[in-house]
Structure 1
Amino acid sequence: MAFVIHMPLTNTKAATRYAAELPMRETSPGHYEGYYTATSNVRATGATVEVRAQDDYGNTASEIAKGKLNIN
């Protein structure tokens, strides 16, 4: 499992292309958690969060979470 925040995830241009997807871990059956720490100068108005999953057979699915992420 992984999640994507559709906005720049780092504060350096060189690293931005590498920090596109962040891992999630299963903390209890069916419950996943992922963490992102915003840099001191990041601002986001209405960013979206996409959750991605892949099963043991390589099948993938993704879904945009309801709501928007605002960082100010």
Structure 2
Amino acid sequence: MYQVMDNYATHKTPKIKSWLARRPHWHVHFTPTSASWINQVERWFAELARKELQRGVQRSAAEL
């Protein structure tokens, strides 16, 4: 299993490292620091903010 994650500190705790050490079939790769543009979720949120949040007028969570 190959997994790509951002460099968030919670992905590198001793508990996570221990879990991964017991699972040699997992291969974790981290995106470079300050490279949020690589993270597809970050790109999606940035596009959502640009198109909807900056221009729109939402009066409730339901409208959002």
- TM-score, with structure 2 as normaliser: 0.20
Larger radius of gyration: 2
Judging by fraction of residues, say which structure has more helix. Answer: 2
- TM-score, with structure 1 as normaliser: 0.19
Judging by fraction of residues, say which structure has more strand. Answer: 1
